[in-house]
Structure 1
């Protein structure tokens, strides 16, 4: 069972919100003693997902949480938008797929660099992506 030890919600409405968000996520990683490598993976995943939130979801909010599963500490980041939703999650999770003509990590690349990855979408009602990076993961 996961318990939350610290939590904050950050509205994301413009590109200028990205860097402060990245810094807050890094702070959470530092606070639990996460290695530089794992901090970098967490920040990279956060960057990719927050840019998706802005580009495809028209903005939204991000919830950052310090979590514990009984034996390990981690950082959970949830990205919530009220955009159009993802028409085909299976397709969106395929390597090389992009609607944005970008060479970013995309959803599958992001999934690979975190320990836990969940996505929920509903057409016309937005998308929620939740990631967890464990301290030693």
Structure 2
């Protein structure tokens, strides 16, 4: 359950002013101690503003390729049109000193409609 900042502040004040221990007061309120102390630390550091809800989304995903790297891959692909995704990945890694896998290059190029269908050579049976 999410509590508004005002309720969090009120709970902090209740625990501080209670004649019971923090543990017992929190048990009566049904608030986990870890949650309370996280609120308390944020309140001490940032005041009431620190108690506002924070976005649960991470600011940075550790395995996402940055947009500037994607743009460089596309730029290289447009310059070196004859290279396959594998060759582009190797060339990009050598030139930029930033590793990108073949599959990453393929996905980036596919997203920009730069992957063409393979040229199939149809061989017909010869009549002898």
Larger-gyration structure (1/2): 2
Is TM more than 0.5 here? no
Which of the pair is proportionally richer in strand?
1
Report the TM-score when normalising by structure 1: 0.27
Higher relative contact order (CA 8 A, sep 6+): 1
Report the TM-score when normalising by structure 2: 0.28
Which of the pair is proportionally richer in helix?
2
